[in-house]
A and B are shown apart, each in its own frame.
Chain A
């Protein structure tokens, strides 16, 4: 009997060890650090951490874009950071500059491809509330394209979507059928004179 009991105890011990190995040990060690660590980090760190990014606004005379250094919430991974930058770009402008994006425009979604193309899906306010000016339209497009490509070198090109769809243009001028690269020629040159009397 005692021998039988010893065999049963050994078998039970082996079984328990096997179950422990399967349920706890192997998953934790084969996928190191995956679930438990990251949520805690982003939940606690994100509201506090900020990065400094160059955002783009319309100059005082309305004839060019101007870059301004602004604090933007930290985001990780990169697609998350891209969202934070676009959301900041959609927000208000610093004093004396004007936002290049029509007010009320919201970011619906942002995707990144492996090739470094970002797809920025904006609400239709970006079209319906646009001034309709060709220059303003260039500024709207390149404020977003430049904010992403200048601050996040991994992003090479940007295509703007409206309400989830590809569009020809925002207001009838700028060709949006292809992803666009960074273009700094719409920025004010160093010698932009301030307008007198305003």
Chain B
């Protein structure tokens, strides 16, 4: 089979050569140029197809990769010198010597007058090992990544699904990003040096006009159509370390108003200062924990509403609202009906260096009359001496190899939350204050308890009980768009105040006692 195909290609090349008249001077239409991505930026590298093989001009490579080459007439080949190493190529031979080692190329170098052409794999098989460069040649996307650059592959598809249009982007490897609405477009910013993106064409121009590279090296812009109402973005893990971004864009139903919280946050001039929120730096990442899930239903209302479904619905709305309005990165501990261990939830926040952690719950009581929202933060009394030690852990100076010493913070990881109690209390107050303006609160609206999901969180963390599912009225509320949006609005406003407070502290030179994160 292979020889036959090869001979077919050869035949085609010969046919073309005959038709064109000169074998190489006017080679078949050049394929799209490659892009070389390095610290210096993105530079084009044209290729040519010669005898069925895609090839680069050695001159172009010499300029991009900074090497010299000379013909060796006696040997009938040429010598490439890069970083004091040599690669010896011979005309008509697929074998080359690279730094003294014999390597095989997919085709022999071709010379045409004074110009030399080498196959594409010359870059990865000969240049990269000899020059000790890290080179990633991605043929499908015609990209050559040089050095330790992060250029995740992004592939997308658009599916119309009734009143919403779903844009799914597979990102490999999974890469931190934010999704935000900026005027008439949605902007996805990746924490990467470049994108290796294959973007889909839109099939629903009235909602999504166009998906295109945005302004910046690792930005995708989604131009929204005239019927755009609101959107919801969520992250899911995909196979082999890849991530999946799902953006549901909702179309306006006739003249109906958008249902999700798309209004800007109400201006509240009398915001109390949040000076306790000490750590410097902006609010970048928030982890939202939808309580329970999978085999753990959580509380259950008299009408059959399950806590795990309410918490997930609110978590998804909150994520979309926070991304759109605060432009922060939001990670959900689950984005489906999954069983997630309590340890894993805090660990996800710790591993993503989240700035805040909020766990969403709905309450239940043996008393059907119990009603109102509550905000909890961790109490340490129950943990005895461990907590005190974790709270007051100071860095210890430890000797290191080769002399000298190094300050190492020794904390009990399991009790990570102990150091953030003050900030968690301030966060709880901010949330309680802004929820109180929107939803009924319980008589004890702020409380401290030894909650398992909070204790391991290495950042300010609270647990919000949005209301009592066992109360028939509240069960209806908790399932309603109106109530869920009110909770989301309250939380977004609280987080935005926290962000402002942190920004203010950051501008004034940072905290005196904040833990170094």
Interface size class of A (residues with CB under 8 A): 20 to 34
- A173 near B: Cβ within 8 Å? yes
Are B468 and A133 closer than 8 Å at their CB atoms? Answer: yes
- A181 near B: Cβ within 8 Å? yes
Pick from B307, B376, B384, B452: contact of A132, CB below 8 A: B307
Are A63 and B442 closer than 8 Å at their CB atoms? Answer: yes
The stretch of B68-76, B293-301, B405-413 in contact with A is: B293-301
The distance in angstroms between the C-alpha atoms of A65 and B453, with both chains bound, is: 23
Are B365 and A138 closer than 8 Å at their CB atoms? Answer: no
Are A195 and B369 closer than 8 Å at their CB atoms? Answer: yes
Are A98 and B367 closer than 8 Å at their CB atoms? Answer: yes
- B388 near A: Cβ within 8 Å? no
- A92 near B: Cβ within 8 Å? no
A-B contact count (CB 8 A): 98
Q: Mark A97-132, 1 if CB is under 8 A from B, else 0.
A: 011100000000000000000000000000000011
Are A168 and B300 closer than 8 Å at their CB atoms? Answer: no
Chain B residues near A163 (CB, 8 Å)? none
- B364 near A: Cβ within 8 Å? yes
Nearest to A174 among chain B residues (CB) is B450
- B449 near A: Cβ within 8 Å? yes
- A183 near B: Cβ within 8 Å? yes
The distance in angstroms between the C-alpha atoms of A131 and B470, with both chains bound, is: 8
The distance in angstroms between the C-alpha atoms of A113 and B146, with both chains bound, is: 65
Given A58-B366, A174-B450, A174-B452, A133 and B342 contact (CB-CB distance below 8 Å): no
The distance in angstroms between the C-alpha atoms of A35 and B468, with both chains bound, is: 57
Pick from B292, B342, B366, B382: contact of A131, CB below 8 A: B366
Chain B residues near A138 (CB, 8 Å)? 449
The distance in angstroms between the C-alpha atoms of A100 and B292, with both chains bound, is: 22
Are A175 and B450 closer than 8 Å at their CB atoms? Answer: yes
Chain A residues near B296 (CB, 8 Å)? 172
Chain B residues near A168 (CB, 8 Å)? 342, 452
The distance in angstroms between the C-alpha atoms of A132 and B382, with both chains bound, is: 21
- A154 near B: Cβ within 8 Å? no
Are A61 and B382 closer than 8 Å at their CB atoms? Answer: no
- Chain A proximity of B407: nearest CB distance (Å): 30
Chain A residues near B367 (CB, 8 Å)? 58, 60-62, 98
Nearest to A180 among chain B residues (CB) is B382
Chain B residues near A150 (CB, 8 Å)? none
Chain A residues near B291 (CB, 8 Å)? 172
Chain A residues near B443 (CB, 8 Å)? 61, 63
Q: Mark B361-398, 1 if CB is under 8 A from A, else 0.
A: 10111110110001010000111100000000000000
Q: Is the interface of A mostly helix, strand, loop or mixed?
A: loop
Nearest to A192 among chain B residues (CB) is B443
Chain B residues near A183 (CB, 8 Å)? 381-382
- A151 near B: Cβ within 8 Å? no
Are A134 and B366 closer than 8 Å at their CB atoms? Answer: no
Are A63 and B370 closer than 8 Å at their CB atoms? Answer: yes
Within 8 A of B (CB), among A61-104: 61-64, 98-100
- Chain B proximity of A137: nearest CB distance (Å): 9
Are A131 and B452 closer than 8 Å at their CB atoms? Answer: no
Given A134-B463, A198-B369, A178 and B382 contact (CB-CB distance below 8 Å): yes
Nearest to A197 among chain B residues (CB) is B369
Given A131-B470, A134-B463, A175 and B382 contact (CB-CB distance below 8 Å): yes
Chain A residues near B307 (CB, 8 Å)? 132
Are B381 and A136 closer than 8 Å at their CB atoms? Answer: no
- A135 near B: Cβ within 8 Å? yes
The distance in angstroms between the C-alpha atoms of A135 and B468, with both chains bound, is: 10
Q: Mark A157-185, 1 if CB is under 8 A from B, else 0.
A: 00000000000110111111110110100
Chain B residues near A195 (CB, 8 Å)? 369
Chain A residues near B452 (CB, 8 Å)? 168-169, 172-177
Within 8 A of A (CB), among B335-379: 342, 361, 363-367, 369-370, 374, 376
The distance in angstroms between the C-alpha atoms of A168 and B365, with both chains bound, is: 21
- Chain A proximity of B364: nearest CB distance (Å): 3
- B139 near A: Cβ within 8 Å? no
Are B444 and A132 closer than 8 Å at their CB atoms? Answer: no
Chain A residues near B298 (CB, 8 Å)? 132, 171-172
The distance in angstroms between the C-alpha atoms of A99 and B367, with both chains bound, is: 10
Are A181 and B382 closer than 8 Å at their CB atoms? Answer: yes
- Chain A proximity of B374: nearest CB distance (Å): 8
Given A131-B299, A173-B452, A62 and B361 contact (CB-CB distance below 8 Å): no
Nearest to B450 among chain A residues (CB) is A175
The distance in angstroms between the C-alpha atoms of A61 and B442, with both chains bound, is: 11
Q: Which residues of B contact A (CB under 8 A)?
A: 291-292, 296-300, 307, 342, 361, 363-367, 369-370, 374, 376, 381-384, 442-444, 449-453, 455, 463, 465, 468, 470
Can you report 28 A-B residue pairs in the complex whose CB atoms are below 8 A from each other?
Answer: A58-B366, A62-B370, A63-B370, A63-B442, A63-B443, A98-B366, A99-B366, A131-B299, A132-B297, A132-B299, A132-B300, A132-B307, A133-B299, A133-B364, A134-B361, A136-B365, A138-B449, A168-B342, A168-B452, A169-B342, A169-B452, A172-B292, A173-B452, A173-B453, A175-B450, A177-B452, A180-B382, A198-B369
Known: A64-B444, A181-B381. 6 other contacts (CB 8 A): A62-B366, A134-B449, A134-B463, A168-B342, A173-B452, A174-B452
5 pairs of A and B residues whose beta carbons are closest in the complex: A62-B367, A133-B364, A62-B370, A132-B299, A62-B365
Q: Which residues of A contact B (CB under 8 A)?
A: 58, 60-64, 98-100, 131-136, 138, 168-169, 171-178, 180-181, 183, 195, 198
